[in-house]
């Protein structure tokens, strides 16, 4: 067996450099190469592999920190000696040992307050199948155990895990049942700039997925308080991954309260993402555009004005639950901008109760089912005016879509795609000093409210849009996903029949 703390000197797995010189790219490439070359990629998905890397790094770091000398040592969250014992196991013993450890750390009724993070990391977690234990043992003894992971710079460890999660794009896109997707970082970086996120803010994401939104906010804040970000999601696997992602990117102590909650946000009348009652100052949300989650009704949410699709309901949720002065950015499909019924009711209420100041029409083809066009609505929560006049004065629309088709991999968006947008919005400046341009146009609120449908389907660029149906491969993949979902629902109906 290799020493549980590794040698910390040679770092041969990262090109001979000591751990303190490792880069996130080096770590991610090495571990993903192990997946490609030394595991059965048919039996283990890339997402399952990265998730297990996260579990093992959590346990290894927890052990390393408990072994530090004197007052620098931290009490182990896992049972004492759990990691060294794990490195000695193989086969059936490794499978049963890891299963027992996961169950112990997943104990939601534990009286140990320092295990709240572990309780989320291992919530409903299960090891690979018994037949994959030889590969798991090699991952432990060859890739994780020989090295001192606590010596790696926090930014590089976080970057490595983020890169590995991004490599799981196809696996995450298949999670149609909970509407998961990966938001490109250039988009998120633009969002946090427009919201003028700073070190005194408290940022939430009520549909956080892998936590990338919260990490982008944390990096922009330059905060020293990892507890300044918090999220929730109804998908247990996403909650596990988001928690690990935040831990590795922020250095948040493993004994702290969990930064992510497993919850269906729309069934709660309050922001459920934080342990305390502190109201958030910023909310960023890329909600499911399609999901099999619970659709709220009057019994659950009598504070909603109407009940629509998930993006419409998330808009209402934030409009209702945020405190006055809080800033928000919510991703929505085109249908929310012009749809009738609940969508129209929500749009009118937003204009009346919030300063809906900016609408960004995103490039086509980036995420969410490829034919769906996406947008971001930016608003600041306010209190209704006594005279009944709308809080919003002008809605500024920026067109980053026309003539700008992008894809997840072949032609991804870049920071440069949003430089002009950020500059035009003057984040932190006087919004009344904004000026119109070829892609940036102002719409007075009365013009919006005078329209019978209160439509937000507004143009900033007069050039006609080209329908974006994606590549033949993207179309075929989407059809296959829809057929899989339909088959699942028909099976449920068949099983329910006598």
Q: Which residues of 211-245 are buried (b: 16+ CB within 10 A; e: fewer)?
A: bbbbbbbbbbbebeebbbbbbbbbbebbbbbbbbb
| pLDDT reported for residue 88 | 96
- Phi then psi for residue 58, to 5 deg, are -60, -50
C-alpha span between 56 and 330 (Å, rounded): 34
DSSP-assigned beta bridge partners for residue 330 = 285, 377
E strands, 394-455, in order: 394-399, 440-444
Mind giving me the DSSP string for 117-150? HHHHHTTT--PPPGGGHHHHHHIIIIIITTS-GG
Element (H, E) at 121: helix 116-121
| pLDDT reported for residue 327 | 97
C-alpha span between 22 and 14 (Å, rounded): 6
Which distant-in-sequence residues (6+ apart) come within 8 Å of 72 by Cβ?
none
C-alpha span between 293 and 179 (Å, rounded): 9
Which distant-in-sequence residues (6+ apart) come within 8 Å of 493 by Cβ?
none
Residue-level pLDDT, tens digit, the chain, 498 residues = 333 333 333 444 444 789 999 999 999 999 999 999 999 888 999 999 999 999 999 999 999 999 988 877 789 999 999 999 999 999 999 999 999 999 999 987 777 888 999 999 999 999 999 999 999 999 999 999 999 999 999 999 999 999 999 999 888 888 766 778 888 999 999 999 999 999 999 999 999 999 999 999 999 998 778 889 999 999 999 999 999 999 999 999 999 999 999 998 898 887 766 766 688 999 999 998 875 566 787 788 888 988 888 899 999 999 999 999 999 999 999 989 999 999 999 999 999 999 999 999 999 877 655 567 899 999 999 988 888 899 999 999 999 988 887 776 677 889 999 999 999 999 988 999 999 999 999 999 999 999 989 999 888 764 445 455 555 665 565 566 557 656 765 665 676 677
In angstroms, what CA-CA distances link 125 with 237, 257, 295?
8, 19, 27
Tokens of 352: 């009346």
Which distant-in-sequence residues (6+ apart) come within 8 Å of 286 by Cβ?
181, 183, 207, 209, 213, 330, 331
Q: Which residues of 69-87 are buried (b: 16+ CB within 10 A; e: fewer)?
A: eeeeebebbbeeebbeebb
| pLDDT reported for residue 215 | 96
Q: Are 62 and 50 in contact (CB under 8 A)?
A: no
Q: Are strands 327-333 and 229-233 parallel, antiparallel or unpaired?
A: unpaired
Can you state the angle between helices 154-166 and 46-66, rounded to 10 degrees?
160
Q: Compute and round to an integer the Cα radius of gyration of the chain.
A: 24
Name the one residue in this structure whose structure tokens are 């390393």.
64
Helices (H), 146-295: 154-166, 169-173, 185-194, 212-221, 236-250
């Amino acid at each position: 067996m290799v020493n549980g703390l590794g040698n910390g000197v040679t770092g041969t797995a990262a090109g001979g450099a000591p751990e303190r010189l490792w880069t996130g790219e080096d770590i991610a490439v090495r571990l993903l190469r192990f997946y490609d070359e030394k595991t059965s990629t048919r039996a283990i998905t890339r997402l399952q592999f990265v998730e297990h890397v996260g579990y093992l790094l959590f346990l290894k770091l927890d052990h390393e920190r408990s072994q530090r000398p004197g007052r620098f040592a931290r009490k182990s969250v896992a049972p004492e000696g759990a990691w060294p014992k794990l490195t000695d196991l193989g086969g059936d013993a490794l499978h049963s040992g890891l299963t027992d450890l996961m169950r112990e750390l997943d104990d939601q009724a534990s009286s140990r307050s320092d295990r709240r993070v572990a309780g989320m990391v291992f919530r409903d977690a299960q090891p690979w199948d018994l037949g994959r234990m030889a590969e798991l043992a090699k991952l432990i003894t060859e890739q994780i155990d020989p090295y001192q992971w606590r010596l790696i710079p926090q930014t590089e460890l976080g970057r490595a895990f983020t890169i590995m999660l991004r490599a799981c794009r196809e696996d995450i896109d298949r999670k149609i049942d909970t509407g998961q997707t990966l938001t490109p970082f250039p988009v998120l970086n633009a969002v946090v700039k427009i919201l003028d996120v700073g070190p005194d803010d408290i940022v939430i994401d009520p549909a956080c997925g892998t936590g990338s939104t919260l990490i982008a906010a944390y990096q922009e804040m330059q905060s020293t308080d990892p507890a300044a970000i918090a999220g929730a999601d109804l998908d247990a696997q996403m909650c596990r991954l988001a928690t690990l992602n935040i831990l590795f990117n922020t250095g948040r102590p493993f004994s702290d309260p969990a930064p992510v909650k497993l919850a269906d946000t729309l069934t709660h009348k309050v922001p459920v993402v934080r342990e305390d009652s502190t109201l958030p100052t910023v909310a960023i949300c890329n909600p499911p555009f399609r999901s099999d989650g619970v659709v709220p009704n009057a019994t659950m949410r009598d504070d909603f004005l109407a009940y629509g699709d998930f993006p419409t309901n998330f808009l209402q949720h934030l409009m209702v639950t945020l405190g006055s002065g809080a800033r928000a950015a919510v991703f929505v499909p085109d249908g929310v901008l012009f749809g009738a019924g609940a969508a129209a009711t929500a749009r009118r209420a937003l204009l009346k109760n919030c300063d809906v100041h900016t609408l960004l029409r995103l490039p086509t083809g980036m995420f969410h089912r490829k034919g769906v066009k996406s947008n971001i609505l930016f608003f600041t929560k306010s209190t209704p005016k006594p005279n009944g006049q709308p809080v919003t004065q002008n809605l500024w629309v920026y067109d980053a879509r026309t003539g700008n088709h992008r894809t997840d991999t072949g032609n991804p968006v870049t920071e440069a795609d949003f430089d002009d947008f950020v500059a035009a919005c003057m984040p932190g400046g006087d919004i009344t000093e904004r000026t119109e341009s070829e892609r940036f146009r102002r719409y007075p609120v009365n013009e919006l409210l005078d329209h019978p449908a209160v439509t937000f389907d507004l143009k900033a660029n007069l050039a006609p849009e080209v329908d974006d149906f994606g590549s033949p491969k993207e179309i075929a993949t989407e059809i296959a996903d829809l057929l899989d979902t339909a088959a699942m629902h028909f099976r449920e109906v068949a099983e329910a029949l006598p």
